[in-house]
Amino acid sequence: MSELQEPLVRFIEVQKSYDGEILVVKNLNLDVARGEFLTMLGPSGSGKTTCLMMLAGFEPATHGEITLEGNPINNVAPHKRGIGMVFQNYALFPHMTVFENLAFPLKVRRMGRSDIEAKVKRVLDMVQLHDFAERRPSQLSGGQQQRVAVARALVFEPQLVLMDEPLGALDKQLREQMQYEIKHIHESLGVTVVYVTHDQSEALTMSNRVAVFNDGIIQQLATPDVLYEKPDNAFCAQFIGENNKLIGTVKDKSGNNCIVDIPGSGIVHALDVNAGNIGGATSLSLRPERVEIDPSEGKYPNVFEGKVKELIYLGDHIRTRVNVCGHDDFIVKVPNISDHASLVKGHPVKVGWRADDCRALDVYQEP
Amino acid sequence: MANEIIGGDVVLAADGTPLKASLNKAMRKNRIRALLLVTPLFLFIVFSFLIPIVEMTFRSVDNWQVGTLMPKTTTALAGWDGKALPDEPVFAALIQDLQAGAKAREIGKVGTRLNYEKSGLRGMITRSGKKSLKVKEGPYKEKILKMHKKWKDLETWTVIKRNTAPYTMGYYLNAVDMKYDKSGEIVMRDENRRIYGKLFLRTFAISMAITLICVMLAYPIAYLLATLPLRYSNLLMIFVLLPFWTSLLVRTTAWIVMLQSQGVLNDLFVFFGLVSDDNRLQLIYNLTGTIVAMTHILLPFMVLPLYSVMKTISPSYMCAALSLGANPMVAFIRVYMPQTLSGIVAGSILVFILSIGYYITPALVGGTDGTLISNQIAYHMQKSLNWGLAGALGALLLSSVLALYLIYNKIVGVDNMRFG
């Protein structure tokens, strides 16, 4: 985001409470750049949908200000905001045909008939549904309904489109296909998208930036690769991707590194991200694919003895569950390459990893 | 991997029997069970509902009286051309029938029947029946003509001849304000004697008005019920259903208390000076009373179908319409209301059909201009004992309801109808 260009949407110290006792959204500050695909990712009840509803205007903010193109919109009615929205269950009007659904936002804007027809045709072509204009939504498959919903949110050419878990109702294959389609539409139109999902792989696939929500707070706001490789805290490390967690106490810190004592197992060298003070508890985060089985002597500062508990063959890799450092659920992904180590359930095994791949974070307590 | 064996054109099961037969055998138990479950209700409906309806509808065309009680006259009249009074043989037959009828005390039924067609004939028949017992020998024509002056009237004989047929259209003609004239042609009744056509029209108009009022009152309530959080909507639902749990008579009499000229409403009007004391509004025993009380009673039948349809409409439709730029009013009319159409139609058809046959409330609060066709039917069932006419009126009412239902089915489809 360049400093010259003003963000399209700004949340400034926004708070939201439904009952006056609990804050669902706590002090949210977020800028959405023009043309950006920003995903709000988080478990249910984390406040992400509430943020979207406040932006759409269906929920008032309890405190703070939301601006669109620099103008506060807290008191602007939803139908005057000009924000397109795709709903979780599409909310296609069942009594209208696909054409009428798409023409609806244009008709209420009192556009001319020929303009309407041209614009509807254009979006129908965009979502490849030109043959379905006269069908009712109920005569379409889930994927087609989804496309119509996207087209309807775009047909009146809004600057900003909100999507509230739009792919939740589709099966896995279709969902992945739609992820790419939506991504391509976003790229070709240059429209700004704020997308809400609880599916982390969806978020990583589609977004320019992801805001990870938990407990009404943005835990981390970063691009997908940063989010996966450099999680700021234990929640993000756990929520995004697979993660091995080791709990220990900080023994010593030097520069970016720290030494962590895992009770009963020994010392781990780790990267100090968010480890807290010496003597305090820390949670070590280690991606399963960054662990090596039977490493050569002296390759890694961290080498431990373990025991193979379970082997799951997944084609491209073998998911191996190992008992290491007193943890029974330590996962190692062994790539299925021609000379990979042969593993037998119940046999002892050595595992090792780099200090930089092992991030010392805060301790996240599951609620 | 198909397990069935193909034997000729018939698909066979594993043991060689045709698959269809084997399937039938497997399903028989289920079918018998289903049948047994339905039987009690089916029998109940047949005896309490279908048979009486068929019976009453049959009465509306049944014309047994003359043919059965005056068999000889019936045969003798068969060849009569209707141009002049019949000849001696007919009178000879008539005197025998009259005598037999008078002895058996059955001749009055013929009189009653003929009287429906032309007033005065009951008296003629009963008096002639009594007098006939004294007649020993002919010529009978002369003696019978002396018994009552109406025997000399050609129309009397036309009426008798017409009703020797075992079935009649007379009751239906009567029910639509028509009759046979002197020469036996079907004509409209005199303007001042047309009752039922007007009553049918009024019944339809009142039912329509009640239906409309119900839609207007029920729509906002149902909307509120469907959108309120559950704990409030349950409470509201109890208020809607409360009338259901109260006796119909209690509710109707409650309206009498409310609406009568010395009643609660009029007292309030007078108290607030809206009307003067000697100018109290007539709110009951007329059309107003019928409409008010029936609307109140039938309202739940409108609320429930509307509610059940509205409950299924996700609020996201309204949100979607707003986000697409429609103002709340447009969104409601263009997006929400069309989706409730099936509920409106279901409720309307229910209320309309119920009110078209409503009896007790208009009987109690209707006065003269607030009664419906069902009250006339009840009158003919209980007071005038003209069951044929009651049957004809009932059959007309039933068929008009069925016709409406068919039209509705054609337009909306019964599958789209949802009740409560």
DSSP of B174-218, one letter per residue? HHTTEEE-TTS-EEEPPGGG--HHHHHHHHHHHHHHHHHHHHHHH
CATH number, domain at A254?
A: 2.40.50.140
Q: Which residues of A touch B227 (CB under 8 A)?
A: none
- Does residue A137 sit within a domain? yes
* pLDDT score for B2: 45
Domains present along chain B, CATH in parentheses: 5-59 (no CATH), 66-168 (no CATH), 196-416 (1.10.3720.10)
Residues of B in contact with A95 (CB under 8 A): 338-339, 341
Instruction: Check if B334 contacts A (Cβ < 8 Å).
Output: yes
Token digits of residue A357: 């791949």
pLDDT, residue B417, reads 54
What is the average pLDDT value for chain A, to the nearest integer? 90
Residue B417 CB contacts under 8 Å (≥ 6 apart), including other chains: B305, B342, B345, B346, B349
Same domain, A69 and A134: yes
Question: Both A106 and A24 in a single domain?
Answer: yes
Query: Could you tell me if A229 and A257 lie in one domain?
Result: no
Neighboring chain A residues of B334 at a CB cutoff of 8 Å: 104, 108
Q: Write the single-letter amino acid at B193.
A: R
Two structure tokens written together for B78: 């068969």
Q: What are the chain B neighbours of A83 within 8 Å (beta carbons)?
A: 323
Instruction: Give the nearest partner residue to A56 out of B314, B323, B326, using CB atoms.
Output: B323
Q: Is the pLDDT of residue A6 over 60?
A: yes
Which amino acid is present at A323? Answer: N
Q: Look at residues A206, A234, A262 and tell me which one is the last residue of a structural domain.
A: A234
Contact A91 B314 (CB under 8 A): yes
Nearest Cα of chain A lies from the Cα of B412 at a distance, in angstroms, of 13
Do A159 and A252 have their domain in common? no
pLDDT digits (tens, 9 = 90+) for A106-123: 999 999 999 999 999 999
Q: What is the mean pLDDT of residues B243-248?
A: 85
Based on the fold, state whether residues A67 and A176 are members of the same structural domain: yes
- Over residues B364-369, mean pLDDT: 87
Q: Which of A173, A203, A234 is the last residue of a domain?
A: A234
Residue range(s) defining the domain that contains residue A202: 9-234
- Is residue A288 a contact partner of residue A333, using CB atoms and an 8 Å limit? yes
Amino acid B334 reads R
- Number of domains making up chain A: 2
Question: Given a cut of 60, is residue A350 above it in pLDDT?
Answer: yes
Residue A1 inside a domain? The answer is: no
Cβ contact A83–B322 (<8 Å): no
Domain CATH number, residue A78: 3.40.50.300
* Residue A39 pLDDT exceeds 60: yes
A2 occurs within a structural domain: no
Query: A89, B314: Cβ pair inside 8 Å?
Result: yes
A156 contacts B323? CB cut-off 8 A: no
Pick among B310, B316, B324 to test the A interface (most A CBs inside 10 A): B324
Predicted confidence (pLDDT) at residue B420 exceeds the cutoff of 50: no
Q: Do B320 and A91 touch (CB under 8 A)?
A: yes
Residue A248 contacts by C-beta under 8 Å, 6 or more apart in sequence? A260, A261, A262, A263, A268, A281, A282, A284
Asked if residue A215 and residue A105 are part of one domain, the reply reads yes
Q: Are residues A78 and A220 in the same domain?
A: yes
pLDDT beyond 50 at A2: no
Name which of B322, B325, B335 is nearest A109 (Cβ-Cβ). Answer: B325
- For residues B133-142, average pLDDT: 86
Would you say residue A366 lies in a domain? Answer: no
Closest residue to A83, CB basis, from B316, B323, B338: B323
Q: How confident is the model at residue A295 (pLDDT cuts 50, 70, 90)?
A: confident
Query: Could you tell me if residue A192 is inside a domain?
Result: yes
Residue B322: its chain A contacts at CB < 8 A? 57-58, 77-79
pLDDT band at B413 (very low <50, low <70, confident <90, very high): low
- Neighbouring-strand partners of residue A322: A308, A330
Q: Output the pLDDT for position B17.
A: 78
A62-121 residue pLDDT tens: 999 999 999 999 999 999 999 999 998 899 999 999 999 999 999 999 999 999 999 999
Element containing residue B74 per DSSP (H, E): helix B71-77
Name the packing angle between helices B387-411 and B196-227 (round to 10°).
40
Q: Which residues contact A264 (CB under 8 A, 6 or more apart)?
A: A325, A326
pLDDT band at residue B9 under the 50/70/90 scheme: low
**Cβ pair A79:B327 closer than 8 A:** yes
Q: At what angle do helices B121-132 and B88-103 cross, to 10 degrees?
A: 80
Cα within 13 Å of Cα(A320), Cβ side? 31
Looking at the complex, does the CB of residue B275 fall below 8 Å from at least one CB of chain A?
no
| Whole-number Å distance between alpha carbons of A177 and A215 | 31
Residue A55 has pLDDT above 80, yes or no: yes
Q: Taking each helix axis from N to C terminus, what angle separates B88-103 and B107-117, rounded to the nearest 10 degrees?
A: 120
* H helix or E strand, kind and range, residue A266: strand A266-272
If contacts are CB pairs under 8 Å, which of residues 107-146 in chain B contact chain A? Answer: none
In a domain, A4, yes or no: no
Task: Render pLDDT for A138-188 as a digit per residue (tens, 0 to 9).
Answer: 999 988 999 999 999 999 999 999 999 999 888 888 899 999 999 999 999
Question: Does residue A89 sit in the same domain as residue A179?
Answer: yes
Same domain flag for A37 and A91: yes
Task: Give the Cβ contact number of residue A75 at 10 Å.
Answer: 7
Nearest-angstrom CA–CA distance, A98 and A145: 9
- B interface test, pick of A49, A93, A138 with most B CB neighbours within 10 Å: A93
**Cis before B139 (ω within 30):** yes
Is 50 exceeded by the pLDDT of residue A1?
no
Give the model's pLDDT for residue A276.
Answer: 80
Mean pLDDT, chain B, whole residue set: 89
Kindly state whether B257 is in contact with chain A, defined as any CB-CB distance less than 8 angstroms. no
Residue type, B238: I
Structure confidence by residue, pLDDT tens digits, A235-263:
999 899 888 888 888 888 888 888 898 88
Under an 8 A CB cutoff, do A91 and B322 touch? Answer: no
pLDDT for residue A217 is more than 50: yes
Residue B234 pLDDT exceeds 50: yes
Q: Are residues A138 and A193 in the same domain?
A: yes
Residue B5 has pLDDT above 80, yes or no: no
Q: Does B324 contact A89 at a Cβ distance shorter than 8 Å?
A: no
Residue A239 lies in a domain: no
Whether pLDDT at B239 is above 80: yes
Co-location of A172 and A221 in the same domain: yes
pLDDT digits (tens, 9 = 90+) for B112-126: 999 998 889 999 999
Q: For the segment B161-211, what is each residue's pLDDT rounded down to a tens digit?
A: 999 999 999 999 999 999 888 878 888 988 888 889 999 999 999 999 999
Domain end, chosen from A179, A199, A234, is at A234
**What local confidence, expressed as pLDDT, does residue B321 receive?**
95
**Using the 8-state DSSP alphabet, how is residue A199 labeled?**
-
d(CA A243, CA B150): 112
B244 in contact with A, Cβ within 8 Å:
no
Question: Contact B319/A83, CB-based, under 8 Å?
Answer: no
B248 to chain A, minimum CA–CA distance in Å?
A: 39
pLDDT at A203 over 60: yes
- Complex ipTM: 0.84
pLDDT tens-digit readout, B255-291: 999 999 888 999 999 999 888 888 888 888 999 999 9
Please state, for a pLDDT cut of 90, what percent of chain A lies above it: 53
CB distance B323–A84 less than 8 Å? Answer: yes
For residue A367, tell me if it sits in a domain: no
State both tokens at B221: 């309530």
pLDDT: is B369 or A140 the higher one? Answer: A140
d(CA B273, CA B263): 15
| DSSP code for B81 | -
Phi, psi of A162 (to 5 degrees): -105, 140
**Orientation angle between helical segments A142-154 and A113-126, nearest 10 degrees:** 130
Q: Could you tell me which of A95, A92, A68, A81 has the C-alpha nearest to residue B321?
A: A92
Same domain, A29 and A118: yes
Instruction: Count contacts between A and B (CB, < 8 Å).
Output: 72
Q: Give the minimum alpha-carbon distance from B202 to chain A in angstroms, rounded to a whole number.
A: 36
Q: What is the pLDDT of residues A259-289, one digit of tens each?
A: 898 887 788 889 988 888 888 889 999 999 8
